Amino acid sequence: MLRPERPVRRTLGGLAERVGGDLIGAADTPVSGITLSSTDLAAGEVFVGVRGANRHGAEFSAQAAERGACAVLTDAEGAGLARDAGLPVVVVEDPRLVLSDAAAWVTATTSADPLPLLLGTTGTNGKTSVSHLLEGLLTQIGVVAGASTSAERVVAGERVVAGLTSPEATEFHAQLARMREAGVEAVAVEVSAQAVTRHRVDGVVFDVMAFTNLSHDHLDDYGDMESYYRAKAPLFGADRARRAVVSLDSPAGLRIAREADVPVTTIASPDIAADERAARSADWIVEVTRERQRGTSFRLSGPGGRVLETTVPVIGAHMAANAGLCVVMLLEAGYDWERIAGALERDGGFDAWVPGRTQLVSGDRGPAVYVDFGHTPDAFEKTLAAVRRVTPGRVVMLFGADGDRDATKRADMGRIAARDSDVVVVTDHHPRHEDAASIRAQLIAGARAADPERELHEVSPPERAIVRAVSLAGEGDAILWAGPGHQNYRDIEGVQWGYSARELARRALAAAGYPAPARVWPNPYGDD
């Protein structure tokens, strides 16, 4: 967790008063931070114990005490569990409900000191790509930038691997405080539906909030698409954002634009929009002008006759849409058109690393191999279409599905893979506590229902599956390995095993006799 290097001085009594809690212990206990993690905890921080699905976090209070926690913030049940840890306790009715305010107070991110501009992005797909492209573009125009994404947390060029898509409130406010110390001017923030419904961004007002799209995902959390929509919609209220940029490429974008109670600027890509006529009504239009294996060129046109032609270093019309969204977000945040356009012209387009998003990891000969994080039917559809357009030969689709996550989308994932590729290879991803063979069977059933004649291979584990995929492809063909993206582990029965799809792809290509480069991707973590 990125923390401020010079935490403000707070006391436990002040924290108890702030959250309306009952204090058991010394009011003058100094507090330097606050966290939900008993393992990633710095001395002098308050440990927060909340009731989880299976266990109460306060059960780990003794572990937190051993690591230097100064106190525990929890509910009445947790107070009993924390008693033997020997720490002062602040008792509140619902610790999660007060967590964001507590974190903001402890880190002084509610104070009068200026915070960075907050540029949020929500939607089903594209949040991570937009956030990384934003951070890259901000850096190009000379802004000290930060980012919080599902891949990493960034503070003025310092990068750490991320845990949750949207960090818990404690981590988010600690990162904001660190950014303020580092002189960060603007930060790109990926905001999930869970961040709203689990109170991770309570009290946070974004300067610009963007909406990408809404498609089938997270129904294990929200039950149906209407509930999923309603989880995201509050981000476009006046208590959550000052302005909004909304893509009209999905029907939900039209609804967000109508229902938002903040000023809205719209953008769309008519070539990929669900409703081309509605997309043409947007304030800004993105049109692809050229697609290549290592990038996509596009034209962005908008009010006042402004036109920008540039390139984003990843393939796909959806990536051009993401890049166009970034430009408009910066305009809405107050940055000059000439400053943005000038930087893009100077650098030959966007200069950004988008980890694990249609990432080309192969060499100059043999099949093109793309590693992607896409794990929804809509992401499969868009990414396969993008790969198809730059591939003269066959497209091999290699994928698995998450265990213990939304199982209702698996049939559609299989269906789209069979419909839009030439060869399907079904393997494992994160089985977690589910039976991996059962997950594969659901994906295969979806594929067979869509096209019983499609060439299909079931190969487990993925270390063998990528070898099989490479054996099925040749010069002019492409392999899309969807799911692992940037991640450096697999979750099997609750244990995270080190794993890199990029490195496995490189080894499979080399074993097949192709001159795969030692590494063809930026990687600040050294995990390959």
Q: Kindly report the three-state secondary structure assignment for every residue of 139-207.
A: HHCCCCEEEECCCEEEECCEEEECCCCCCCHHHHHHHHHHHHHHCCCEEEEECCHHHHHCCCCCCCCEC
> Which domains are assigned to the chain?
10-107 (3.40.1390.10), 117-347 (3.40.1190.10), 359-511 (3.90.190.20)
CA-derived radius of gyration, the chain: 24
Q: State the pLDDT confidence band at 112, using cuts at 50, 70 and 90.
A: low
Read off the tokens for 68.
């230097």
pLDDT of residue 526: 46
Taken in order 479, 504, 528, 176, the sign of the CA dihedral is positive
CB 398 within 8 A of CB 482: yes
Position 483, amino acid? G
Q: What is the dihedral of CA 425, 429, 431, 432, to 10 degrees?
A: 180
Q: Please report the pLDDT score of residue 494 as a whole number.
A: 85
Per-residue confidence (pLDDT) for residue 483, from 0 to 100: 87
**How far is residue 481's CA from residue 251's CA, in Å, rounded to a whole number?**
28
Using alpha carbons, select from 235, 118, 240 the residue that is nearest to residue 172.
Answer: 118
User: pLDDT digit string (tens) for 179-223?
Assistant: 999 999 999 999 999 999 999 999 999 999 999 999 877 677 788
The CA–CA distances, whole Å, from 23 to 71, 92, 381, 481 equal 10, 9, 54, 52
The per-residue pLDDT for range 98-111, each reduced to its tens digit, is: 999 999 999 999 87
Whether the Cβ atoms of residue 153 and residue 83 lie closer than 8 Å to each other: no
Q: What six digits make up the tokens of 238?
A: 């006046």
Q: What was the pLDDT predicted at 385?
A: 93
Instruction: For 464-481, write each residue's pLDDT tens digit.
Output: 999 999 999 999 999 999
Other C-beta atoms lying within 10 Å of the C-beta of residue 242: 16
Give the number of other Cβ atoms within 10 Å of residue 271's Cβ.
Answer: 15
Is residue 408 within 8 Å of residue 380, measured between CB atoms?
Answer: no
Q: Could you report the per-residue pLDDT of 231-245, keeping only the tens digit for each?
A: 999 999 999 999 999
Q: What's the pLDDT at 521?
A: 47
Q: Do 204 and 238 touch, CB atoms closer than 8 A?
A: no
| Residue owning tokens 């100094």 | 30
Of 290, 98, 108, the residue nearest 181 (C-alpha): 108
User: Sign of the C-alpha dihedral, residues 137, 138, 139, 140?
Assistant: positive
Rounded Cα distance between 499 and 483, Å, is 13
pLDDT greater than 70 at residue 152: yes
At a CB cut-off of 8 Å and minimum separation 6, what does 378 contact? 124, 125, 213, 215, 216
Three-state DSSP at 375 gives coil
Block residue for tokens 């910066």: 330
Between strands 264-268 and 284-292, the pairing is: parallel
Write down the pLDDT at residue 525: 41
Separation of alpha carbons 368 and 99, rounded Å? 46
Q: How many CA atoms lie within 13 A of 97 on its CB side?
A: 8
pLDDT recorded at residue 165: 58
**pTM reported for the whole predicted model:** 0.85
Contact 205, 242 (CB under 8 A): yes
Distance CA 388, CA 313 (A): 17
Q: Is pLDDT of 415 > 50?
A: yes
User: ∠321-324-329 over CA atoms, to 5°?
Assistant: 125
Residue 31 predicted with pLDDT over 90: yes
CB-based contact 132:353 (threshold 8 Å) = yes
